[in-house]
Amino acid sequence: MGEEQPLRTDYAGTLTSERIGDQVRLAGWVDRRRDHGGVVFFDIRDASGLAQVVVDPDQLPAGRDLKMEYTVTVGGEVRPRPEGTINVDMATGEVEVVASDIRILSTAETLPFMINDRVEVDERLRLQYRYLDLRRPRMAANLRARSNAIRAMRETLDELGFLEVETPTLIRSTPEGARDMLVPSRLNKGSFYALPQSPQLFKQLLMVGGVDRYYQIARCYRDEDFRSDRQLEFTQLDIEGAFWGQDGVLETLEQVIVAVVEQARGVTIPRPFKRMTYAESMARYGTDKPDLRFGMEITDLGDIFEDSDFKAFSGAVKGGGAVRGLNVGPLGLSRSGLDGLVAKAKELGAKGLVWMVAEDDGSLRSPVAKFLTESELQRLGARFATTPGDILLIAADETKLVGTLLGQLRVELGRPKGHDELAFLWVVDFPVFEETEGGDLAPAHHPFTSPVSVTEMRDNPKAAVSKAYDLVLNGSELGSGSVRIHDPEIQKQVFEVLGISDEEAESRFGWFIKALRYGTPPHAGFAVGIDRLLAILQGEQSIRDVIPFPKTQTGADPMTESPKPVDDFQLMELGVNLRPEVRAALDGSREVPE
């Protein structure tokens, strides 16, 4: 039970000229080391920042042994830096510590990459040495920002009287949930738990259970084929409230987001956030997650061309489709650049794309100009309020395809780089169904989402709207929520309209529908993807840069070499075998010398 000598009295980054003359002890990493005429200078780095240390190796021989990323504890006196050596770019740049004692606490081998933000390092190498990558100021700042953002969320919700409740992560698997991650049970061999894709049903049960306001920073799991920026495990802010509806949810989440942005950016963004219906968003931006940092809206041209002699345009309108366009401004695209856009449109499934360039005299130059009347061209120019050099892109096709195409071109040609500006948006009144590529109707949300009207859902499914809403930031969906169904009879009808048979509903959700039968309050909620929110706030392109220990796109961790095969004994205990073809493949791979 002996008393320990503290390795540090102060954090390096906190030393200012007010401390001149004080004896301090610092502990951290040797960040840089310079020899100057027999005296050694080095920066000591800890989580707070850097301080310069001066050592005379003749008096403190340890000063001679210091190498990059050694950890040390240094005792000494704070003194002003000599004139001409003050570093105004450094928080502690007015002072230095004259070492009277140095102890090397640990040494470091040659590093695989430098600990600074100036060097570009291959991401796989960064992940392999994540513990070194995290020492880099940018990554350290990302970790702090994440901690701070989550704290701001909690503080806001605590203040509003929300309870934090932990829901289980070893849950029942749903038969059709082929993308559940499974956990074999050792005590119940042949049975499996699933890891939750979200706490959805448990948070609804909490509402049934009388928890008035719930939140959780919840780890969720989704076994997706990796797209560019997904992770097997991810974190969401999950909230739910009883006797609550959409207005309450949006109001609360805005308070949360404002607090997070204040914490991250030091600015107070205005409330309420913009709200837009799904239908409006699709018409104006061709997407349900529009980036509102820039205009370049999709403009409908149907009225101009419905009776045009140019059949490519009028035919689309008459066939129930649309003619719409963008004014993408003076992009300075060459003819081949414009042709590239046309090729791209065809890749996306469009029959084509018409481009026009506004000339100095106000006329529109285009390969199709000769098929249009002067009046049509004039109305076009007026509709788009063209100025010389503007480029117009026009598509005529099925409405959905036109929207998708122009929405993608809009983002590609208009989206600002970086995330200095933050454009939050609520998209509300989502449809109950969305059309699949084959033209069938598929539920747009999970089956616990409340439709505005079950009758309309049944009688006019394409037009039916549900009480579902998304939060969008800079063109990314941050999360989604809905008012839930709280009446078991309506839940049954919704299953039916969604094409879920009684048997299927019973086998998948019977236990849950039963819970609805004992006095379930109306309730609503939301989930915000924390990884994506943080990436945007920190100006990172990838969520991997705001996750402490992420996995690669194939779900691997290069640092620990995970996942990996396990002992047969372990499998036996769990009641499972590898399938023969998998074992053969593994055995084959084992013949390759490592």
Could you say which residues in the range 184-203 bind a second copy, by CB under 8 A? 184-193, 195, 202
- Based on the shown chain and the rule CB under 8 A, indicate whether residue 555 belongs to the binding site for a second copy: yes
> Of the listed pieces 76-84, 218-226, 337-345, 347-355, which binds a second copy according to CB under 8 A?
218-226
Query: What is the spatial distance between Cα 425 and Cα 257, in angstroms, rounded to a whole number?
Result: 12
- Based on the shown chain and the rule CB under 8 A, indicate whether residue 116 belongs to the binding site for a second copy: no
Residue identified by tokens 């609520």 is 426
- Based on the shown chain and the rule CB under 8 A, indicate whether residue 182 belongs to the binding site for a second copy: yes
> Of the listed pieces 54-62, 335-343, 441-449, 577-585, which binds a second copy according to CB under 8 A?
577-585
Q: What is the DSSP string of 315-337?
A: HHHHTT-EEEEEEEE-----HHH
> Of the listed pieces 44-52, 282-290, 397-405, 471-479, which binds a second copy according to CB under 8 A?
44-52
Chain centroid to Cα 59, Å, comes to 53
Cβ 503 to a second copy shortest distance, Å: 13
Query: What is the spatial distance between Cα 135 and Cα 141, in angstroms, rounded to a whole number?
Result: 10
- Type of residue at 1: M
- Based on the shown chain and the rule CB under 8 A, indicate whether residue 284 belongs to the binding site for a second copy: no
Query: What is the spatial distance between Cα 313 and Cα 321, in angstroms, rounded to a whole number?
Result: 10
> Of the listed pieces 93-101, 166-174, 385-393, 414-422, which binds a second copy according to CB under 8 A?
166-174
Cβ 252 to a second copy shortest distance, Å: 13
Q: Which two tokens stand for residue 442?
A: 């598929």
- Based on the shown chain and the rule CB under 8 A, indicate whether residue 156 belongs to the binding site for a second copy: no
- Based on the shown chain and the rule CB under 8 A, indicate whether residue 591 belongs to the binding site for a second copy: no
Segment 56 to 85, residues that bind a second copy, using CB under 8 A: 69-71, 73
Segment 518 to 537, residues that bind a second copy, using CB under 8 A: 518-522
Q: How many residues does the chain have?
A: 594
**Closer to a second copy at the Cβ: 78 or 206?**
206
- Based on the shown chain and the rule CB under 8 A, indicate whether residue 379 belongs to the binding site for a second copy: no
Q: Which of 91, 143, 312, 444 binds a second copy (CB under 8 A)?
A: 143
Are 309 and 373 a contacting pair, CB within 8 Å?
A: yes
- Based on the shown chain and the rule CB under 8 A, indicate whether residue 424 belongs to the binding site for a second copy: no
- Based on the shown chain and the rule CB under 8 A, indicate whether residue 154 belongs to the binding site for a second copy: yes
Cβ 30 to a second copy shortest distance, Å: 8
Cβ 400 to a second copy shortest distance, Å: 23
Q: Which of 10, 15, 24, 27 binds a second copy (CB under 8 A)?
A: 27
In 60-94, DSSP assigns E strands to 71-80
Query: What is the spatial distance between Cα 587 and Cα 572, in angstroms, rounded to a whole number?
Result: 18
**Closer to a second copy at the Cβ: 105 or 385?**
105
CA distances (Å), 355 to each of 325, 328, 468, in order? 9, 10, 37
The neighbour count for residue 320, using CB atoms within 10 Å, is: 8
> Of the listed pieces 39-47, 119-127, 336-344, 368-376, which binds a second copy according to CB under 8 A?
39-47
- Based on the shown chain and the rule CB under 8 A, indicate whether residue 111 belongs to the binding site for a second copy: yes
Residue identified by tokens 């309050």 is 521
> Of the listed pieces 89-97, 232-240, 344-352, 374-382, which binds a second copy according to CB under 8 A?
232-240
- Based on the shown chain and the rule CB under 8 A, indicate whether residue 29 belongs to the binding site for a second copy: yes
Q: Which of 64, 219, 274, 318 binds a second copy (CB under 8 A)?
A: 219
- Based on the shown chain and the rule CB under 8 A, indicate whether residue 279 belongs to the binding site for a second copy: no
Q: Which of 22, 212, 339, 456 binds a second copy (CB under 8 A)?
A: 212
Write a three-state SS string for 434-471: EECCCCCEEECCCCCECECCHHHHHHCCCCCEECEEEE
DSSP state of 202: H
Q: What is the DSSP string of 220-269?
A: EE--PPP-TT--SEEEEEEEEEES--HHHHHHHHHHHHHHHHHHHHS---
Stretch (H or E) spanning 424 = strand 424-428
Going by their DSSP bridges, the two strands 523-529 and 476-483 should be labelled as antiparallel
Of 264, 212, 206, the residue nearest 243 (C-alpha): 212
Segment 460 to 499, residues that bind a second copy, using CB under 8 A: 486-487
Segment 329 to 368, residues that bind a second copy, using CB under 8 A: none
Cβ 412 to a second copy shortest distance, Å: 30
Cβ 502 to a second copy shortest distance, Å: 16
**Closer to a second copy at the Cβ: 91 or 576?**
576
Q: Which of 10, 43, 46, 96 binds a second copy (CB under 8 A)?
A: 46
Residue identified by tokens 């502990």 is 27
- Based on the shown chain and the rule CB under 8 A, indicate whether residue 275 belongs to the binding site for a second copy: yes
Q: Which two tokens stand for residue 576?
A: 């499972």
Cβ 123 to a second copy shortest distance, Å: 16
> Of the listed pieces 49-57, 145-153, 315-323, 324-332, which binds a second copy according to CB under 8 A?
145-153
- Based on the shown chain and the rule CB under 8 A, indicate whether residue 456 belongs to the binding site for a second copy: no
Query: What is the spatial distance between Cα 391 and Cα 509, in angstroms, rounded to a whole number?
Result: 53
- Based on the shown chain and the rule CB under 8 A, indicate whether residue 44 belongs to the binding site for a second copy: no
Query: What is the spatial distance between Cα 537 and Cα 81, in angstroms, rounded to a whole number?
Result: 37
| First CA to last CA distance, the chain | 47
How many positions of this chain bind a second copy (CB under 8 A)? 142
Query: What is the spatial distance between Cα 189 and Cα 575, in angstroms, rounded to a whole number?
Result: 5
Q: Which of 35, 101, 158, 309 binds a second copy (CB under 8 A)?
A: 158
- Based on the shown chain and the rule CB under 8 A, indicate whether residue 377 belongs to the binding site for a second copy: no
418: exposed, middle or buried (C-beta count within 10 Å: 0-12, 13-18, 19+)?
Answer: exposed
- Based on the shown chain and the rule CB under 8 A, indicate whether residue 559 belongs to the binding site for a second copy: yes
> Of the listed pieces 296-304, 354-362, 441-449, 570-578, which binds a second copy according to CB under 8 A?
570-578
Query: What is the spatial distance between Cα 337 and Cα 341, in angstroms, rounded to a whole number?
Result: 7
